[in-house]
Structure formats: C-alpha cells, structure tokens
Structure 1
Amino acid sequence: MTGLIIVAIYTLAGRALSLERLAVVVIVLGATSLLAGFLLISLATASMIGPLRSVRWAMEDITAGTLSRRVVVYDGTELGELQRGFNQMASGLQERERLRDLFGRHVGRDVAEAAELHEPELGGQDSRVGVVFVDLIGSTEMAVRSEASEVVDVLNQFFSVVVETVEEYDGIVDSFLGDAALVVFGAPRSMADPATATLACARVLGRRLQERVPDCRAGIGASFGDVVAGYVG
C-alpha cells in the first residue's frame, strides 16, 4: 500500500510514468505484498495452530490412558492459559486415578466401583453369601522368635496367595485382620452359586498355602447363609 501511495504522489508531482514502467511497478508491488502477506499469515496461523495441536495430541494421550502427559505452555496469552488449564486438568485426573487405585487396594475393586456408582447410604439388604475366614496358626510365636521384617515377608506371601485365589473364584477380600483375612462371595457383587465358590476357594487355599508358604500353617473356615450386606456405621 505504501508503494502505491508513493507511485500516486510521484505521478501527481508531474512526473508521469510510462505504461510499461507503471505495469512493472504494480507487478513488483503486488508480488511483494502477496509474499509478505503469505509469510505473515503463515506465521500467525502457526502461532495459533501450534498450541491447539499440542493440546489436541495431549488429549489423545490422556484418552489412551497416559495421564502423565503434559504440554509446554508457550506464553501468557489465551492459548497459553488453555495449555495451563489442560495441565491442571491432567494433574487432577492423575491424582484422582491414584486415589481411586489406593481406595480399590484397601476395600477391593468391586467395592470401590460400587461406591463410585451409587451414593453410600447407611443400611443394607438381605443377601445369601458365602464367607471364608483364613488365619495363620502360631503367628504370635513366629513374631516373638523372628525379626519383624521376616514376619512381614511371610505375611505378604500369605496374603498374596489368599488374594490370588479369591480373585480366581470372584470373591472379595472384605478385610485384613492382622494375620487373617475375611473373604465374601455373593456381595456386593451377586453370584449364581456363592456356596460352591466358597467351598472351592477354601479347598484350593488349603492346598496352595501348604505348597507356597510351607513355613506357616493356616486355619480356614467356610460358611454360607443369610446376611445383611451394606454400609453399617
């Protein structure tokens, strides 16, 4: 535009340009303007598209389960605020998933999922369930004559076998009580035949504990009947 104004002033000043020279000037000015405009628009578009693409790719990673994904904040503009907001959202999702995993480890995956789907309410419902109680025999004596770290290692081996076997029969470890575990079949997840699963789990537990934790003996009890299952206290 500046070039066209200069040409116009030059012409008004009485210095007329020939038709050929004017055409050359217009072509040069037009080509220069197009090139400069293309470069400026490309730079402006890239500065806007780049942050948006980084957020889009990061969202795809988050959707795929990579909750540790973060994006680089380019600047303090609105696009930078968008990137910063995405990072905060990803951090919140990662923290929520970590707490969810810890909660599931403490109360069991199925109990945790049930608590997420339904608002907890005090009370319960009548259910027919099977229960297995498994307890180490002589654990007090073992704690007295052994180092604390050795006792912990034995307990971890013991509970590892218990959890593995219970999951095979779709049971739920309701609680760990020191050197014992209380397992439930039929609640909160219903089962077609909890009595059979209870007895089968107890039998397999007795065999596996002898094979994999030979230094310990375990007492195993199995029962089946009516209970009230729900939130108490």
Structure 2
Amino acid sequence: MHQDTMAATRPLTPRHITWLKIALFIVCLIPAAWIALHVTSAVNPVEYVTHQTGTWTLNFLLITLCVTPLRIISGRNELLRFRRMLGLFAFFYVCCHFATWFGLDHLFDFGAMWHDVVKRRFITVGFIAFVLMAALAVTSNAASVRRLKRNWARLHKAIYAIAILGVVHYWWLVKRDITDPAIYAVLLAILLGWRIWRAQQQQRQAAARAR
C-alpha cells in the first residue's frame, strides 16, 4: 500500500510534462473549433461568437484559478507548470471576444466602440478586464518575471479582479435570466473564499509559531 501511494505521488518527468502540455494545448483549442464549426448554423453568427468566446473566457479564468487549490489538495506541484497556458488561453478567447465585438459588431469604428465603453456599464467593466488581461499576458514570460521581481506577483494578483469584473460584465449583460452568471458568481466566490480562508489559516499558524 505504501509503495502504491509513493507511486501515485511520484513527480512527473520533463517528458511527461511536455506531452501533457501538448495534450492540454489541443484540448484548449476544442472550444474554438466547436465555435467555428457551428457559427454558420447560428441564427445570429456575430452574437453567437461573441457569447461563446465570452463564456469560454470566463471558463478558462475559473479553471486557471482552480490550479492552486488543486495543487495544494493533491500535492502535485507540477500543476503549476500548466497554469500559464490556461491563463494565456483565457486571453486568447477574450481577444476573440473583443475582436468579434469591435470588428464585426462595430466594424472597426473607434468612435462607436469608445461610446459603448463610456456609456454602457457592462462594456466598461468588460473593457477594463480586457486591458488588465492584456497586461498579464504581456508579462507572462520568464523575462518579465526576472525584470519585475516581486512586482510580478503583485501584478498577477490582478487575475482576481479580472475574474470579478468578468462575472459582473456577464451579470450586467444579461437582462432577465441571471442563472448562468449567478453560477459563475458562486463558483468564483468559492475559489476566492478558499484563498481567504487559507490566508487566514497561514496567519494563525505563523502567529502560533511566533509565540
């Protein structure tokens, strides 16, 4: 039994990590392929793509936030090796979301786009989230980690604000049935609540050790 447990928690080799990253990359592209496959049959293709890419942006944001809890619960530190890819795919889908809205819905009219950003609150928070996600994506490389040092970790905590803004964007967008945004809000509350609880536990343990 002890040997089985040791085998189950054995660290993954670099080769395994590489193959898992390739598999994850392919899996993360499946939603994009699904959207492309069904867009022609949609009643309103632009609305369909906008909604689907926005939904998958939120999905990948929440999946990215799941990595740390899963790592701690499972003891699999290798999970951190996949977090950046998941975050970048969240950015990929939000870029598709923004490009569809700006390019197909507004026909690259900067004036109309900015009017929406300023006047419509759900677009305002969505645009802020997009800008913050762009900042995280640009600084997600190793060179930025070395250059920014401690500030890198502080900057990338903006993912919490981004996720909140994303849920608010979805909630304010929906006019009647708020079931879907409410589900995202509950899931996000659980993920953020877990982090607050863990931080409090760590503070208590640190205080106990200091006595």
Q: TM-score, normalised by structure 1?
A: 0.23
Select the structure that is richer in helix.
2
Higher relative contact order (CA 8 A, sep 6+): 1
Larger of the two Rg values belongs to structure: 1
Select the structure that is richer in strand.
1
Q: TM-score, normalised by structure 2?
A: 0.25
